[in-house]
Copies of this chain bind each other. A is one copy, B any other.
Amino acid sequence: MRGSAGTARSRRAAMLAAAARLMREKGFAKTTIRDIARAVGMGSGSPFCHFRSKEAILAAIAETGLKRAVERAERVAARYAAPQRRLLALLRLHVDLLHGARSDFSAVTLHEWHALPAAEKERLRVLRRRYEAIWGEALASLLPARAAHHDVALCVRLLLGSLNWSLRWWRADGKRPARDLARTWTNIFAAQR
Protein backbone atom coordinates (compact mmCIF):
# COMPACT_ATOMS: atom_id res chain seq x y z
CA MET A 1 0.00 0.00 0.00
CA ARG A 2 2.96 2.30 -0.62
CA GLY A 3 3.42 4.97 -3.21
CA SER A 4 1.15 5.30 -6.18
CA ALA A 5 -0.39 1.83 -6.22
CA GLY A 6 -3.67 1.31 -8.01
CA THR A 7 -5.76 3.48 -10.28
CA ALA A 8 -6.67 7.04 -9.45
CA ARG A 9 -10.23 5.92 -8.74
CA SER A 10 -9.24 3.15 -6.38
CA ARG A 11 -6.84 5.48 -4.57
CA ARG A 12 -9.62 7.99 -4.17
CA ALA A 13 -11.93 5.32 -2.82
CA ALA A 14 -9.28 4.15 -0.37
CA MET A 15 -8.82 7.70 0.86
CA LEU A 16 -12.55 8.13 1.37
CA ALA A 17 -12.82 4.88 3.29
CA ALA A 18 -9.87 5.80 5.51
CA ALA A 19 -11.18 9.32 6.04
CA ALA A 20 -14.63 8.04 6.96
CA ARG A 21 -13.17 5.65 9.51
CA LEU A 22 -10.97 8.32 11.05
CA MET A 23 -13.69 10.97 11.10
CA ARG A 24 -16.07 8.57 12.73
CA GLU A 25 -13.54 7.88 15.47
CA LYS A 26 -12.19 11.36 16.08
CA GLY A 27 -14.61 13.68 14.37
CA PHE A 28 -14.04 15.90 11.35
CA ALA A 29 -12.22 18.70 13.19
CA LYS A 30 -9.71 16.43 14.87
CA THR A 31 -9.00 14.36 11.79
CA THR A 32 -6.10 15.91 9.90
CA ILE A 33 -5.11 15.65 6.28
CA ARG A 34 -1.89 14.09 7.53
CA ASP A 35 -3.88 11.38 9.34
CA ILE A 36 -5.68 10.48 6.15
CA ALA A 37 -2.52 10.57 4.06
CA ARG A 38 -0.70 8.31 6.50
CA ALA A 39 -3.59 5.84 6.56
CA VAL A 40 -3.19 5.21 2.82
CA GLY A 41 0.60 5.55 2.72
CA MET A 42 0.83 8.96 1.11
CA GLY A 43 2.92 12.02 1.77
CA SER A 44 1.33 14.80 3.76
CA GLY A 45 0.45 16.99 0.80
CA SER A 46 -0.68 14.33 -1.64
CA PRO A 47 -4.36 14.12 -0.67
CA PHE A 48 -4.78 17.44 -2.48
CA CYS A 49 -4.05 15.65 -5.74
CA HIS A 50 -7.46 14.02 -5.31
CA PHE A 51 -9.48 16.56 -3.38
CA ARG A 52 -9.51 20.33 -3.40
CA SER A 53 -9.82 20.64 0.36
CA LYS A 54 -10.49 18.78 3.57
CA GLU A 55 -14.11 19.85 3.35
CA ALA A 56 -14.35 18.36 -0.13
CA ILE A 57 -13.43 14.98 1.36
CA LEU A 58 -16.26 15.25 3.84
CA ALA A 59 -18.62 16.31 1.08
CA ALA A 60 -17.68 13.25 -0.99
CA ILE A 61 -18.28 11.02 2.02
CA ALA A 62 -21.65 12.63 2.67
CA GLU A 63 -22.75 12.29 -0.93
CA THR A 64 -21.86 8.61 -1.05
CA GLY A 65 -23.41 7.96 2.35
CA LEU A 66 -26.66 9.69 1.47
CA LYS A 67 -26.99 8.04 -1.92
CA ARG A 68 -26.54 4.61 -0.37
CA ALA A 69 -29.06 5.38 2.34
CA VAL A 70 -31.70 6.63 -0.06
CA GLU A 71 -31.19 3.70 -2.37
CA ARG A 72 -31.60 1.19 0.43
CA ALA A 73 -34.61 2.98 1.87
CA GLU A 74 -36.32 2.97 -1.50
CA ARG A 75 -35.70 -0.73 -1.84
CA VAL A 76 -37.25 -1.29 1.59
CA ALA A 77 -40.26 0.83 0.72
CA ALA A 78 -40.76 -1.06 -2.52
CA ARG A 79 -40.52 -4.41 -0.81
CA TYR A 80 -42.77 -3.93 2.21
CA ALA A 81 -46.27 -2.63 1.61
CA ALA A 82 -47.77 -3.24 5.05
CA PRO A 83 -47.16 -0.16 7.22
CA GLN A 84 -46.03 -2.05 10.31
CA ARG A 85 -43.62 -4.22 8.37
CA ARG A 86 -42.31 -1.30 6.39
CA LEU A 87 -41.61 0.74 9.50
CA LEU A 88 -39.83 -2.17 11.15
CA ALA A 89 -37.67 -2.68 8.07
CA LEU A 90 -36.83 1.02 7.96
CA LEU A 91 -35.89 0.96 11.63
CA ARG A 92 -33.56 -1.94 11.01
CA LEU A 93 -32.10 -0.22 8.00
CA HIS A 94 -31.36 2.94 9.92
CA VAL A 95 -29.74 1.04 12.77
CA ASP A 96 -27.64 -0.75 10.21
CA LEU A 97 -26.64 2.55 8.63
CA LEU A 98 -25.50 3.74 12.05
CA HIS A 99 -23.86 0.64 13.50
CA GLY A 100 -23.76 -2.00 10.79
CA ALA A 101 -20.88 -3.56 8.93
CA ARG A 102 -20.05 -0.65 6.63
CA SER A 103 -21.59 2.23 8.49
CA ASP A 104 -18.67 4.69 8.50
CA PHE A 105 -19.98 6.76 5.61
CA SER A 106 -23.51 7.14 6.91
CA ALA A 107 -22.42 7.67 10.50
CA VAL A 108 -20.03 10.45 9.47
CA THR A 109 -22.69 11.96 7.22
CA LEU A 110 -25.07 12.29 10.14
CA HIS A 111 -22.57 13.22 12.80
CA GLU A 112 -20.53 15.77 10.87
CA TRP A 113 -23.27 17.32 8.78
CA HIS A 114 -22.75 20.65 10.51
CA ALA A 115 -19.14 20.76 9.33
CA LEU A 116 -20.17 20.79 5.66
CA PRO A 117 -19.93 24.08 3.78
CA ALA A 118 -23.31 25.71 3.30
CA ALA A 119 -23.20 25.16 -0.46
CA GLU A 120 -22.69 21.41 0.01
CA LYS A 121 -25.52 21.20 2.52
CA GLU A 122 -27.78 22.92 0.06
CA ARG A 123 -26.73 20.62 -2.75
CA LEU A 124 -27.26 17.46 -0.70
CA ARG A 125 -30.48 18.59 0.94
CA VAL A 126 -32.60 16.98 -1.75
CA LEU A 127 -31.19 13.56 -0.84
CA ARG A 128 -31.85 14.16 2.85
CA ARG A 129 -35.40 15.19 2.14
CA ARG A 130 -35.93 12.13 0.01
CA TYR A 131 -34.79 9.86 2.83
CA GLU A 132 -36.99 11.59 5.37
CA ALA A 133 -39.91 11.56 2.96
CA ILE A 134 -39.78 7.78 2.78
CA TRP A 135 -39.97 7.69 6.57
CA GLY A 136 -42.79 10.20 6.52
CA GLU A 137 -44.88 8.06 4.20
CA ALA A 138 -44.32 5.01 6.38
CA LEU A 139 -45.24 6.84 9.57
CA ALA A 140 -48.17 8.79 8.17
CA SER A 141 -50.27 5.68 7.74
CA LEU A 142 -49.55 4.61 11.31
CA LEU A 143 -49.80 7.83 13.23
CA PRO A 144 -53.39 8.95 12.63
CA ALA A 145 -54.65 6.02 14.67
CA ARG A 146 -52.69 7.09 17.71
CA ALA A 147 -51.30 10.61 17.74
CA ALA A 148 -53.95 12.12 15.57
CA HIS A 149 -53.26 15.05 13.25
CA HIS A 150 -49.77 15.71 14.44
CA ASP A 151 -46.86 16.88 12.39
CA VAL A 152 -45.48 13.80 10.70
CA ALA A 153 -42.17 15.46 9.82
CA LEU A 154 -41.64 16.25 13.47
CA CYS A 155 -42.31 12.66 14.44
CA VAL A 156 -39.86 11.45 11.83
CA ARG A 157 -37.15 13.69 13.18
CA LEU A 158 -37.79 12.61 16.75
CA LEU A 159 -37.73 8.96 15.77
CA LEU A 160 -34.61 9.22 13.64
CA GLY A 161 -33.03 11.43 16.27
CA SER A 162 -33.47 8.82 18.97
CA LEU A 163 -31.43 6.43 16.84
CA ASN A 164 -28.94 9.02 15.63
CA TRP A 165 -28.06 10.02 19.16
CA SER A 166 -27.01 6.44 19.79
CA LEU A 167 -23.88 7.31 17.84
CA ARG A 168 -22.85 9.11 21.00
CA TRP A 169 -23.26 6.33 23.52
CA TRP A 170 -23.56 3.02 21.76
CA ARG A 171 -20.67 0.67 22.42
CA ALA A 172 -20.16 -2.12 19.96
CA ASP A 173 -18.79 -4.39 22.63
CA GLY A 174 -20.62 -7.42 21.32
CA LYS A 175 -22.52 -7.86 24.54
CA ARG A 176 -25.56 -6.48 22.88
CA PRO A 177 -26.43 -6.40 19.20
CA ALA A 178 -27.29 -3.00 17.77
CA ARG A 179 -30.46 -4.55 16.46
CA ASP A 180 -31.89 -4.25 19.96
CA LEU A 181 -32.33 -0.59 19.20
CA ALA A 182 -34.76 -1.33 16.40
CA ARG A 183 -36.45 -4.05 18.40
CA THR A 184 -37.07 -1.77 21.34
CA TRP A 185 -38.86 0.65 19.08
CA THR A 186 -40.77 -2.18 17.49
CA ASN A 187 -41.95 -3.36 20.87
CA ILE A 188 -43.06 0.09 21.85
CA PHE A 189 -44.98 0.49 18.64
CA ALA A 190 -46.36 -3.02 18.75
CA ALA A 191 -47.56 -2.56 22.32
CA GLN A 192 -49.75 0.28 21.18
CA ARG A 193 -52.17 -1.92 19.34
Does A168 belong to the interface (CB within 8 Å)? yes
Chain A interface, DSSP helix/strand/loop, else mixed: helix
How far is A92 from B38 in the complex, measured between Cα atoms in Å?
A: 48
Stretch at the interface among A8-16, A52-60, A146-154: A146-154
**How many chain copies does the complex carry?**
2
Residue in B158, B187, B190, B191 whose beta carbon sits within 8 Å of that of A181 in the complex: B158
Does A114 belong to the interface (CB within 8 Å)? yes
How far is A187 from B192 in the complex, measured between Cα atoms in Å?
A: 13
Count contacts on A: residues with CB < 8 A to the other chain: 34
Stretch at the interface among A40-48, A62-70, A73-81, A159-167: A159-167
**Given A30-B29, A147-B191, A191-B192, A185 and B158 contact (CB-CB distance below 8 Å):** yes
**Cross-chain contact B184 with A151 (CB below 8 angstroms):** yes
A188 nearest in chain B by CB position: B147
Q: Give residues in A with beta carbon < 8 Å to B.
A: 27, 29-30, 113-114, 145-148, 150-151, 154-155, 157-166, 168-169, 180-181, 184-185, 187-188, 190-192
